[in-house]
Amino acid sequence: MIKSKRFKSLIATILTIAMIGVFTGCNNNSDSSKKDSLVVATAYDAKSLDPYAVNDVASANVMMQIYQTLIKEDDSGKLEPLLAESFEQVDETTFKFKLKKGVKFHNGEEMKASDVKFSFTKAAQSAPIAHIMGDIDINSFVIDDDYTISFKIKNPSSAFLAGLVHSGAAILSEKAYTEAGENYGMSPVGTGPFKFVSWAKGDNVVLERFDDFYGEKPSLKNITIKVIPEPTNRTIELESGGVDIAYEISANDLKRIEENENLKLVRGFDYSVQYLGINTQKAPFNNEKVRQAITHAIDVESVVESAYRGIGKVAKGPMSPTIKYYNDDIKPLEYNVEKAKKLLAEAGYPDGFKAQIWTNEKKERVDMATIIQEQLKQVGIEIDIKVFEWGAYLSGLDNAQHDMYFLGWTAETTDPHTALYALYHSSAKGAGGNRAFFEDSKVDELLSKGATILDSPEREAAYKEVQKILVEKAPAVFMENGEQVVGTTKQVTGFKTSPVGYHVLYNVKFE
């Protein structure tokens, strides 16, 4: 009995000490007790994690955590070195980069000039990003040593350097890319602060901190990017604590987040235009008068107001006003039902016709399609709306199977080349970006001219004329200049929206 009492006394003492330790730990404000795993809700799954295989925001939102580029753009739009130690434009067509030493890829290999040559050679031959990287002369690379590389572009360009901040200019490991072959898009290897762990298609991508990252280590240890297509479900997950950040908050959910003391909204205008594209190579849409009639039959202002309700601005033309050489003097084709009917009659369709509008699941696009369906009915155009999953949607558009479709385009920089060339130059038809399959010799001439001369009044005039022609030729109905609206918990700090539409999470922390 005495031993039993002593044993019980000893156990009680141990438990008391243990409980003191627990409560002491609970009050410890050291960094080790802070949350270090971030969960982000996004609307769409990536198509690939190979930066040369795709050019979409959903893929870039993942890739920009994994990869880095030679240079970056600061908040004022100034270009500065990133993987490069320094860079210079030697003459109108020659660029020289000195690379940072000791930069490691996620496979442990050090980044060398040979990796830059390999990366840019692949990029220059990639259809989805040819409008950014296709001007590189792949036979011009000169490697002075492991950390110094020079190359030429085919023509002088004011846009080229700025294009190197795009995800399509990411630097890859030649060894990793070659070894993975066709599977590289599912096993990416970059130099960024986060490395790839897993990808459950249609569900989530998991990343973890790369401890051999050459720069300042991020506070976060893990990032999970969850695919939640329905916007209200993203908001519900944010409210319940299932996610820490939710992208693309819909107009329906703005107020409930604003009124929730545990949440906050982060907003910022971007470089995008939302538009209703028209397949110009398919009858009857190959008739310019039909496209103009469709544009006149749509009350853009009421459609945007109903669908976006305070998010973004009504678009006047094919380019965001945040982009250099924006033409503020252009006048959109006005809403005029009678004029639309007259144009349809002149085109040979006095009784209208049947057509489809394609869209992905994004609520605002579905809402716009529904409103436009009713408006086009007034001029005899009967619309069938088809809603697709994101990957299938882009594949169908690339193959020109559509009549009309909703998409957005976000310029990679404030240079107009990145806002217009891929969407409207005939060389970029399909996966290159021109899913309207639009071809116009004058537009091609002006866009090529703008891409190959340095900034000047002549270049400005070329881009302003292109905008005017595109409004008149109507390969698209320009709907909305975009705004990024992101919801986060109050504990999240360091998050900023990006005007290019994909968000870098390096600096995110928890309070």
Same domain, 152 and 290: no
Instruction: Let me know if residue 188 belongs to a domain.
Output: no
Number of domains the chain is built from: 3
Same domain, residue pair 441 and 315: yes
What pLDDT sits at residue 391?
86
87 and 144, same structural domain? Answer: yes
369/357 Cα distance (integer angstroms)? 7
Contacts of 349 (CB under 8 A, 6+ apart): 284, 290, 380
Does a structural domain hold residue 41?
no
3 state SS for 328-397: CCCCCCCCCHHHHHHHHHHCCCCCCEEEEEEEECCHHHHHHHHHHHHHHHCCCEEEEEEEECHHHHHHHH
- 12 within a domain of the structure (yes/no): no
Which of 128, 158, 181 corresponds to the end of one domain? 181
Same-domain status, 276 and 399: yes
CB atoms within 10 A of CB 395: 14
d(CA 78, CA 17): 58
Looking at the fold, whether 251 and 262 belong to one and the same domain comes out as: yes
Asked if residue 231 lies in contact with residue 42, where contact means CB atoms within 8 angstroms, the answer is: no
Query: Which CATH number is 210's domain given?
Result: 3.40.190.10
Crossing angle between the packed helical segments 457-473 and 416-424, to the nearest 10 degrees: 40
Predicted model pTM? 0.83
**Are the C-beta atoms of 291 and 285 separated by less than 8 Å?**
yes
Residue 419: its pLDDT value, please? Answer: 94
Asked if the structure places residue 8 within a domain, the reply is no
How many whole angstroms separate alpha carbon 482 and alpha carbon 417? 18
* 224 and 349 assigned to the same domain: no
Domain boundary among 181, 214, 246: 181
The amino acid that residue 243 corresponds to is: V
Q: How far is CA 1 from CA 10, 125, 171, in A?
A: 14, 86, 74
Contact 172, 119 (CB under 8 A): yes
Residue 294 phi, psi (nearest 5): -60, -45
Q: What is the pLDDT of residue 159?
A: 85
| Structural domain contains residue 367 | yes
Q: Same domain for 448 and 329?
A: yes
From residue 200, give the alpha-carbon distance in Å to each of 11, 55, 126, 234: 48, 20, 26, 18
If asked whether residues 453 and 501 sit together in one domain, one would say no
Distance CA 419, CA 436 (A): 15
Q: Is residue 39 part of a domain?
A: no
148 in a domain, yes or no? yes
What lies within 8 Å, CB to CB, of 10 at 6+ separation is none
Q: Are 168 and 237 contained in the same domain?
A: no
Strands (DSSP E) contained in 389-442 are 404-410
- What's the confidence (pLDDT) of residue 33? 62
Residue 438: per-residue pLDDT = 98
Residue 5 lies in a domain: no
CATH number of the domain residue 121 falls in:
3.90.76.10
> What distance in Å separates the CA atoms of residue 189 and residue 108, rounded to the nearest whole number?
10
Q: Which domain holds residue 135?
A: 57-181
- Say whether both 232 and 364 belong to one domain: no
Per DSSP, what are the bridge partners of residue 409? 273
**Of the candidates 137, 156, 181, which is a domain's last residue?**
181
Specify whether 277 is located in the same domain as 378: yes
For the chain (511 residues), the mean pLDDT of every run of 10, in chain order, is 43 45 41 81 96 93 97 86 97 97 98 98 90 89 98 90 91 98 96 98 98 97 97 97 97 95 96 97 98 99 95 96 95 97 98 98 94 98 96 90 95 90 94 94 96 91 98 98 97 94 94 90
* 8 Å CB contact between 331 and 285: no
Given this model, what pLDDT does residue 32 score? Answer: 43
Both 426 and 297 in a single domain?
Answer: yes
